[in-house]
Amino acid sequence: MNSPVEDASVRLLRVTAQLVRETHPGREAPVTLDSSLERDLGLDSLARVELLLRLGREFGASLPEAALGEAETPRDLLRYLGHAAPAAAPQAAIELPHGAALPLPDAAATLVEVLEWHAARTPDRTHVLFCVEDAQAAAITYADLHHAARGIAAGLVARGLQPQQAVALMLPTGRDYLACFFGILLAGGIPVPIYPPARLAQIEDHLKRHARILDNAQAVFIVTVPQAQTVAALLSARVPSLAGIVTPEELAAAPVAFHYRASPNDIAFLQYTSGSTGDPKGVVLTHANLLANLRAMGPAFKVTSEDVFVSWLPLYHDMGLIGAWFGSLYFAMPLVLMSPLAFLARPSRWLQAISRHRGTLTAAPNFAYELCAKKLDDADLAGLDLSSLRLALNGAEPVSPATLEAFIERFVPYGLQPEAITPVYGLAECSVGLAFPPLERGPRIDAIRRDVFMREARAVPAEEGGPDVMRVPACGRALPGHQIRIVDEAGDELPDRHVGRLQFRGPSATRGYFRNPEATQRLFRDGWLDSGDYAYMVEGETYLTGRVKDLIIRGGRNLYPYELEEAVGAIPGIRKGCVAVFAST
């Protein structure tokens, strides 16, 4: 008779081998306890998410999120299973602030002034509630954040940071990230968010890949985890501006008076949209840009301090950083925050946090809604109540009508209001948000003739459910104070239902890319900014059809990779969301 440990290893290997067979049909590599999940078995990040979900079902337990980030082999996963917790009953929610809606910092001209405004008026109000694994959530108040940020700022100034010098920030979601971001701002620096490595074992390669971004930003410091400090010598040759790699603990100092105050037109942070390949493009966003975007988005969605935002979105990406965190900061609504790894290790955590804390707002890319609609067992959703949710924003990647419908169908029995599901459109070059649909309408899907669309670049209405129909979701109208137009290749504006390049302008728009005049010149056309997207308009609403750089022209037809990827992903035996289509000569 096998021992319990042997039984567990056999079951784990069986589940792993089955996933390998599905993801790599015909692959003959043996699956052992010491096989490398990535190198030997070819399991990428999404496949690891699937593996953890299956292991959770097999063992009736929840693996810690570290299993996703740190496990290199099935043996590592076996060790994590030894520490796995059985599916726990939902915790009681921490009491969040409520009552009459609070006044807003309308006169604030910078993000720093927004934080100072709240810290002075409601210092003990919960700003962020951190959900860490299945432990009791921990709160941080406005006063906590302001005090911690002042200490980080003092440490940076003491190390010689000068106004408007760049500081790269590579930390996981948590108190340190929030404190360091505002610490850099208080010291007069420019934060440059960089995503942390999926696994600490890869930190050297990870930083090498980011050397081009660090050099373009002329970063003076990197604030990161202790494990990254061993790479300092290696990076020095590639990033001449770099003076040091420091941890938040090393920076923390007694707060001091600061001599530099940010102005509205100072750079608030750099959002890099590429860099490991090609020329890095750091979107320059000023305090004025960000506050204009927040002040346009908030009223569009009737956001107040009585809302509760629930987010797992990474803080190095504009949707999580600006939309979730800065939006919560400005409008004084509590932000219930968990790490992306916590969501990926167990996606039901996101929905359970909305239920537990009576979340009213949330946002995620399309894949997250697809994952929850298709991959969660009913047992994961015990006691779930989504009736408090009034807005679930879907953006940051192509929105699938099928995913919208599948999510609504799956979660209406759990109290979800269908009209809460809201596709939106934005881009880093417009801070984050550009087009939002009307409140409480729910998804609007346009059925058009695929043949006319591909050959003539026109969106001619078709009967829903008919043959050769293409379905495109509406992403709403331009935010107040902003404009969108659709133009042809010559730059002439097109009428409704003609597909062309989407251009925009408004107070949230960037002034260009940091130290990249060529890319900046390509961005602007006669005072408008080129989004790099194809779209069409119908009665003022925007319908996105694909990226300009991705378009494939074959046999006189315009082919959009996303639609092909969706079609291939729907074939039985193909992993949906793991298909890439591209042109090749």
What tokens were used for 450?
């695929």
What pLDDT shows up at residue 1? Answer: 45
Partners of residue 282 on adjacent β-strands: 272
Q: CB-hemisphere CA count at 13 Å for 544? A: 27
Handedness of CA 473, 477, 482, 488 (dihedral sign): positive
The answer on pLDDT for 237 being more than 90 is no
The answer on pLDDT for 311 being more than 80 is yes
Helix (H) or strand (E) holding 343: helix 340-345
Q: pLDDT for 512-533, tens place per residue?
A: 999 999 999 999 999 999 999 9
Helix (H, G, I), strand (E, B) or coil at 233: helix
- The C-alpha atoms of residue 342 and residue 333 are separated, in whole angstroms, by 22
Sort strands 483-487 and 500-505 into parallel, antiparallel or unpaired: antiparallel
pLDDT range class, residue 89, cuts 50, 70, 90? very low
- The C-alpha atoms of residue 23 and residue 577 are separated, in whole angstroms, by 12
Helix (H) or strand (E) holding 72: none
- The C-alpha atoms of residue 189 and residue 193 are separated, in whole angstroms, by 13
Helix (H) or strand (E) holding 166: strand 166-170
Mean predicted confidence (pLDDT) in 100-110: 92
Of 227-241, 385-399, 447-461, 538-552, the range with the lowest mean pLDDT is: 227-241
What pLDDT shows up at residue 276? Answer: 47
What tokens were used for 162?
């000068």
What tokens were used for 178?
């929030």
Helix 4-23 and helix 74-82, axial crossing angle in degrees, nearest 10? 130
Cα distances from 572 to residues 14, 25, 75, 401, in angstroms, run 22, 13, 31, 19
Which has more pLDDT, 466 or 424? Answer: 424
Q: pLDDT for 148-182, tens place per residue?
A: 999 999 999 999 999 999 999 999 999 999 999 99
- The C-alpha atoms of residue 365 and residue 254 are separated, in whole angstroms, by 40
Average pLDDT of every residue of the chain:
89
Mean predicted confidence (pLDDT) in 47-74: 83
Helix (H, G, I), strand (E, B) or coil at 40: coil
Q: Which among 130, 129, 124 is positioned nearest to 144, based on CA atoms?
A: 124
Mean predicted confidence (pLDDT) in 52-57: 84
Q: Which residue carries 């209405």 as its tokens?
A: 461
- The C-alpha atoms of residue 364 and residue 510 are separated, in whole angstroms, by 23
Helix (H, G, I), strand (E, B) or coil at 84: coil
From the CA atom positions of the chain, what is the Rg in Å?
Answer: 24
Name the DSSP letter for residue 231: G
What pLDDT shows up at residue 234? Answer: 75
